[in-house]
Amino acid sequence: MIKTSRNRHQVVIVGAGFGGLEAATHLEGVDVDVTIIDRRNYHLFQPLLYQVAGASLSPSEIAWPIRYLFRDRPEVRTLMAEVEGVDKAARQVILQDGTRYPYDTLVLATGATHAYFGHDEWSKYAPGLKSLEDATTIRGRILSAFEQAELCNDPEVREALQTFVIIGGGPTGVELAGTIAELARGTLQDDFRSVDPSKTRVFLIEAGPRLLPVFPEKLSEYTRRALEKLGVSVLLGAPVTECASDGVMLNGKKLAASTIVWAAGVQASPAARWLDTESDRAGRAIVGPDLTVPGSPNIFVIGDTASSATADGKTVPGIAPAAKQQGKYVAGQIEGLITGARRTAAFKYRHQGNLATIGRSLAVIDMGKLKLSGGIAWWIWKLAHIYFLIGVRNRLSVAMSWVWNHSVGYRGARIILREKASNATSGSLDGKLK
Amino acid sequence: MIKTSRNRHQVVIVGAGFGGLEAATHLEGVDVDVTIIDRRNYHLFQPLLYQVAGASLSPSEIAWPIRYLFRDRPEVRTLMAEVEGVDKAARQVILQDGTRYPYDTLVLATGATHAYFGHDEWSKYAPGLKSLEDATTIRGRILSAFEQAELCNDPEVREALQTFVIIGGGPTGVELAGTIAELARGTLQDDFRSVDPSKTRVFLIEAGPRLLPVFPEKLSEYTRRALEKLGVSVLLGAPVTECASDGVMLNGKKLAASTIVWAAGVQASPAARWLDTESDRAGRAIVGPDLTVPGSPNIFVIGDTASSATADGKTVPGIAPAAKQQGKYVAGQIEGLITGARRTAAFKYRHQGNLATIGRSLAVIDMGKLKLSGGIAWWIWKLAHIYFLIGVRNRLSVAMSWVWNHSVGYRGARIILREKASNATSGSLDGKLK
């Protein structure tokens, strides 16, 4: 067991995403020791992950070493380790190597991963976009498809190589489809001799009746038309029934495509299982009004791995602002506990709005009464994202990357790094290139 | 076979390193078609690779898509493919998948890789630094070692985790040792709670009698003292007799270290084997005064994969400026051939000097009569490297990264990406952390 100072109340936060980071930040000045445990050494700004996949930003522009963010707070300890369980009786977190780490208050903010609705075998053909490795894998596959097309003499194979399928019409799918279409028609337009990048086909496939289902219908329709202007084929009400190395099955027909990206579903991390507590269909731990799990007033679950209700009985959405509000609320609850002024008010979610961007010059914003689409929405989106990035260095760097991308279409991170084992796509098509 | 227009003279350049890129650049305006074949989609600025390994720069800051560099030259075609042989009789390059690609003139500029002097099994314990994946692997191991040390209660294991061994005292070894020492003592100094980064030990091990053997002895000695001031232990005349997951054998004794980097030897790529021509001990193809191989006046070999003699009988060194001079010379030879004014003058190597940098504020420069060390040399080094980077975007980006590193010690790329299979180091030590 790892030793800790037992003089002070020990808060352990598992996961340094938006929720966990916000909790740690708002515990500043509270008389507790804080330990942040994450399996990565960095906090990831997930809303811009699709720009890494699209070769516009490099991984380190949207990632910050967690321990660096807390370097000036000696009471905060950061550990890079994989958590595998919780011993509620002993009040210990269990790490992958069996080490146990004690807590007085536990905050689980472990996020979510992709869900393939019972078809995990699709993951190697249709990677999802949750981690930096996912993003560089998808970037590599997109860029490699064009490289292979340039080598290819068979028009049918070349067409498949220039066909990109994105499954799932939420914000990630919309953003990926827009960025791939612009990559092909803008960034790459002069770079090939045999391939005509304008013949690239990008399919955005959604099982439901419209894109961006959490937005008002009018903005969904705006988004569809805007994407089609960028050259994206939007297929609605079209559930994918199979993913394979050479394409997807759709309405009983094969759509040949060498690159498939999964943006259709998420599955909560196993926090509910660790706690042996009730979860919803997506695996999220069901928490009470104070974000603790039933029977464990010292265990909070927040962010994408929690299912918590809003005042009007809806579920708090799995978006960054919600996780941050919950992190701040939990810090307040802990402060109340320590100072003896324990606040019993329930967590109240304030919905600030939804944003999604369409290519490099349009966006849609739904902030309740204020609904925006087009260029102004895009400017708000950009400024908001620059604002929420951490540190002057990264703000400057991302701003500079965007200026280059928007002015001359240049994307600064068009490099193909070697993938691990599972590049099924290029493997299966290689044979056809001769 | 891939079809090409047979109306014009076909130049095929294999390898888009400094030599290949320079040849293609100087063929502008010459009445030939140019095909550049590289197994990567990018040109890599290798002299700054150690800064990626040291988390100061991100991979895309020192890599440019090859086809982007030639987007304005329609006669230049870029192919991402692995070359596996040359059919001299048929005048064809053979790609990995069996495809054949025809040439009239062939330029082989395929570079070099690490050499383990018959101990290839050491590569998994002591990765070398030649590719971006190498650099991110080494970066990940360095940063992971500190992360594991923070989790570790065993003082002996922690000491091994905080011990870094660099094998080879050439410029790469010197630069890596300096950057790791500064990373530990500067960048990381406030970030840990259990680990004391100042207890980090960095060993630079050289089998020969001095560091930087191609420099004058005085500068070698200056470098040794400067590194020791940064906290590096320089071991000279100390051949490593074994590399393993837990350290190296040296003078019959074990030096326990969890992170080992190989900077000791290079091996030319197999161009000589493809051509069935004579090679030197390092595998470099021996070329004539005009850089062609004996019996094949239409095949040039340049850069690190060629062995060519200087006017005074020495071997042209394997450094970027030499490769660039050769690339330019070859372009001139091809131009002469096409215009009928074939130049028969032999290649003349002009040695412009050697540079190496020691940490983030010192360098050594040997430009013949001009020998410099210290801060002024470092300024020249920085300005030269910024100058040689391609494009305004990357110059600005690298300059900005350096300003941050030098002013506040911040390193912008401190992220640990998942390694492929071979992380023998962390695997072997994991068990000891409990």
Question: Could you tell me which CATH number the domain at B9-39+81-114+266-339 has?
Answer: 3.50.50.60
Is A190 within 8 Å of B71 when comparing Cβ atoms? yes
Give the pLDDT confidence score for residue A341 in this predicted structure.
80
More confident residue, A430 or A170: A170
Give the pLDDT confidence score for residue B5 in this predicted structure.
57
Give the pLDDT confidence score for residue B17 in this predicted structure.
96
- A26-60 pLDDT, tens digit per residue, is 999 999 999 999 999 999 999 999 999 999 999 99
Characterize the bridge pairing of strands A32-38 and A76-80: parallel
- B2-16 pLDDT, tens digit per residue, is 555 568 999 999 999
C-alpha A274/C-alpha B75 separation (Å) is 61
What's the whole-number mean pLDDT along residues B233-252?
Answer: 95
DSSP A418: P
* Alpha helices per DSSP H over B340-420: 375-388, 392-408
Instruction: Report which of B303, B283, B306, B304 is spatially closest to residue B294, judged by C-alpha positions.
Output: B306
User: Which residue in the set A190, A417, A433 is minimally distant from B132, CB to CB?
Assistant: A417
> Is pLDDT above 60 for B427?
no
Of the given ranges (A65-79, A329-343, A415-429), which has the lowest mean pLDDT?
A: A415-429
Q: Which residues on B lie below 8 Å from A148 (Cβ)?
A: 80
Q: So what's the ipTM on this one?
A: 0.89
Instruction: Report which of A217, A64, A58, A76 is spatially closest to residue A135, judged by C-alpha positions.
Output: A58
Q: Is the dihedral of CA B167, B169, B171, B175 positive or negative?
A: positive
Phi, psi (rounded to 5 degrees) for A5: -70, 125
> Is pLDDT above 80 for A426?
no
Distance of CA B215 to the CA centre of its chain: 18
> Is pLDDT above 60 for A425?
no
Q: Which residues on B lie below 8 Å from A40 (Cβ)?
A: 415-416
Record: fold of B120-264+354-433:
FAD/NAD(P)-binding domain (3.50.50)
Other Cβ atoms within 10 Å of A384 Cβ, number: 15
C-alpha B192/C-alpha B419 separation (Å) is 23
Positions of A annotated as catalytic residues are 175
Is A400 within 8 Å of B404 when comparing Cβ atoms? no
C-alpha A52/C-alpha B417 separation (Å) is 14
Is B42 within 8 Å of A416 when comparing Cβ atoms? yes
User: Which residue in the set B2, B60, B421 is minimally distant from A58, CB to CB?
Assistant: B60
> Is pLDDT above 70 for A3?
no
Instruction: Report which of B403, B142, B59 is spatially closest to residue A59, judged by C-alpha positions.
Output: B59
C-alpha A115/C-alpha A233 separation (Å) is 24
Closest residue of chain B to A4, computed from CA coordinates: B194
At position A291, the amino acid (one-letter code) is L
Instruction: Report which of B332, B364, B375, B420 is spatially closest to residue B27, judged by C-alpha positions.
Output: B332
Q: Which residues on B lie below 8 Å from A195 (Cβ)?
A: none
C-alpha A302/C-alpha A308 separation (Å) is 8
Give the pLDDT confidence score for residue B422 in this predicted structure.
35
- B249-268 pLDDT, tens digit per residue, is 998 999 999 999 999 988 99
Characterize the bridge pairing of strands A296-301 and A232-235: unpaired
Clarify whether B175 is annotated catalytic. yes
Chain A nearest-CA distance from B74, in A, is: 7
Chain B nearest-CA distance from A7, in A, is: 17
Give the pLDDT confidence score for residue B1 in this predicted structure.
55
DSSP A27: T
What's the whole-number mean pLDDT along residues B42-48?
Answer: 94
Please tell me if the domain spanning A9-39+81-114+266-339 has the same topology as the one spanning A120-264+360-433: yes
Q: Which residues on A lie below 8 Å from B74 (Cβ)?
A: 193
C-alpha A311/C-alpha B212 separation (Å) is 69
The answer to whether A58 and A412 are in contact (CB under 8 A) is: yes
For residue A72, give both structure tokens.
Answer: 């000036």
More confident residue, B275 or A185: B275
- B344-359 pLDDT, tens digit per residue, is 789 999 988 898 999 8
Give the pLDDT confidence score for residue A5 in this predicted structure.
57
Non-local (6+) Cβ contacts of B38 within 8 A are B14, B15, B16, B20, B66, B78, B79, B80, B81
CA-to-CA separations, B300 to B24, B126, B377, in angstroms, rounded: 13, 33, 35
pLDDT > 90: percent of chain B: 74
What's the whole-number mean pLDDT along residues A257-275?
Answer: 94
CA-to-CA separations, A307 to A86, A276, A347, in angstroms, rounded: 19, 15, 12
Give the pLDDT confidence score for residue A368 in this predicted structure.
83
pTM of the predicted structure, to 2 decimals? 0.91
Q: Please compute Rg for chain B using Cα positions.
A: 23
- B108-141 pLDDT, tens digit per residue, is 999 999 889 889 999 999 999 999 999 999 999 9
- Which pLDDT band, with edges at 50, 70 and 90, does B313 fall under? confident
At position A96, the amino acid (one-letter code) is Q
Is B133 within 8 Å of A417 when comparing Cβ atoms? yes
Q: Which residues pair with A83 in a beta bridge?
A: A95
What's the whole-number mean pLDDT along residues A159-187?
Answer: 95
User: Which residue in the set B144, B147, B415 is minimally distant from A60, CB to CB?
Assistant: B415
C-alpha A422/C-alpha A189 separation (Å) is 29
Of the given ranges (A307-321, A388-402, B92-106, B199-213), which has the lowest mean pLDDT?
A: A388-402
Record: fold of A120-264+360-433:
FAD/NAD(P)-binding domain (3.50.50)
- B378-424 pLDDT, tens digit per residue, is 888 888 888 888 777 778 778 777 877 777 777 878 888 876 533 33
* Alpha helices per DSSP H over A84-164: 132-151, 155-161
pLDDT > 70: percent of chain B: 94
- Three-state SS letters, B246-276: CEEEECCEEEECCEEEECCCEEECCHHHHHC
Closest residue of chain A to B409, computed from CA coordinates: A68
Phi, psi (rounded to 5 degrees) for A283: 85, 10
The answer to whether A209 and A234 are in contact (CB under 8 A) is: no
Mean pLDDT value across chain A = 90
DSSP, collapsed to helix, strand or coil, labels residue B162 as: coil
Chain A nearest-CA distance from B346, in A, is: 35
C-alpha A292/C-alpha A313 separation (Å) is 17
pLDDT > 70: percent of chain A: 94
What's the whole-number mean pLDDT along residues B35-50?
Answer: 95
- Which among B121, B150, B159, B175 is annotated as catalytic? B175
C-alpha A421/C-alpha A410 separation (Å) is 30
What's the whole-number mean pLDDT along residues B211-233?
Answer: 96
Give the pLDDT confidence score for residue B361 in this predicted structure.
85
Phi, psi (rounded to 5 degrees) for A119: -120, 60
Give the pLDDT confidence score for residue B342 in this predicted structure.
66
The answer to whether B200 and B233 are in contact (CB under 8 A) is: no
Is B80 within 8 Å of A147 when comparing Cβ atoms? yes
Give the pLDDT confidence score for residue B417 in this predicted structure.
86
Which residue is associated with the tokens 């807590």?
Answer: A103
Is B71 within 8 Å of A3 when comparing Cβ atoms? no
The answer to whether A145 and A246 are in contact (CB under 8 A) is: no
- Which contacts of B122-126 are long-range, i.e. CB under 8 A and separated by 24 or more positions? B122/B242, B122/B243, B122/B262, B123/B262, B124/B422, B124/B424, B125/B243, B125/B244, B125/B245, B125/B260, B125/B424, B125/B425, B126/B165, B126/B167, B126/B243, B126/B248, B126/B260, B126/B261, B126/B262
Chain B nearest-CA distance from A399, in A, is: 11
Give the pLDDT confidence score for residue B428 in this predicted structure.
34
CA-to-CA separations, A425 to A94, A161, A267, in angstroms, rounded: 38, 10, 25
Domain boundaries defined on chain A = 9-39+81-114+266-339, 120-264+360-433
Q: Which residues pair with B365 in a beta bridge?
A: B355, B372
Non-local (6+) Cβ contacts of A383 within 8 A are none
Q: Which residues on B lie below 8 Å from A65 (Cβ)?
A: 191, 414-415
C-alpha B427/C-alpha A236 separation (Å) is 47
